[in-house]
Amino acid sequence: MLEHTLENSAALAEELRNVVNQAEELLRAVSEDGNEAISALRERVYGAVDNAKTRLADLEQEAQSATQRVTNVAETYIREHPWITVGVAVGLGVLIGTLMRRGSGSDE
């Protein structure tokens, strides 16, 4: 579940990065126009792009921090409960092996 959230955050960050890049390209294309209304609009868009860049950096930092916290918690749990971890791993291995055997057994 956490991996899904982190993947969504990464996808959102990538999409926001693409939008910012496209907005910057648009601003460069329009920057040659001397019209005062265009200049005012350009300044507002530059401000919005700067704000988006800041929020994107914050989002990436939060995702990295969340990943680090989860890693630390998992490592601590494994160190404190090694036999439970081994038991869960063995149980999952048996379950996956049984499911794979059932799946391949129908082909025979």
For residue 96, is it within any domain?
no
pLDDT band (50, 70, 90) for residue 75? very high
pLDDT score of 61 more than 60: yes
* 89 falls within a domain: no
pTM for the whole structure: 0.49
User: 12-26, 48-62, 72-86: which has the minimum mean pLDDT?
Assistant: 12-26
- Answer yes or no: is pLDDT of 106 > 60: no
- Whether 92 is covered by a domain: the verdict is no
C-beta neighbour count of 102 within 10 angstroms: 9
pLDDT level of residue 103 (50, 70, 90 thresholds): confident
Q: Which two tokens stand for residue 24?
A: 């910057």
Q: Which amino acid is at 89?
A: A
DSSP string, 3-27: HHHHHHHHHHHHHHHHHHHHHHHHH
C-alpha 40/C-alpha 74 separation (Å) is: 51
* pLDDT tens, position by position, 20-59: 777 777 777 666 666 776 777 777 777 877 877 888 788 8
Q: In angstroms, rounded to a whole number, what is the distance separating the alpha carbons of residues 23 and 30?
A: 11
Domain housing 15:
2-81
Domain count, the chain: 1
The first and second tokens of residue 2, run together, are 């956490």
Would you say residue 98 lies in a domain?
Answer: no
For residue 7, tell me if it sits in a domain.
yes
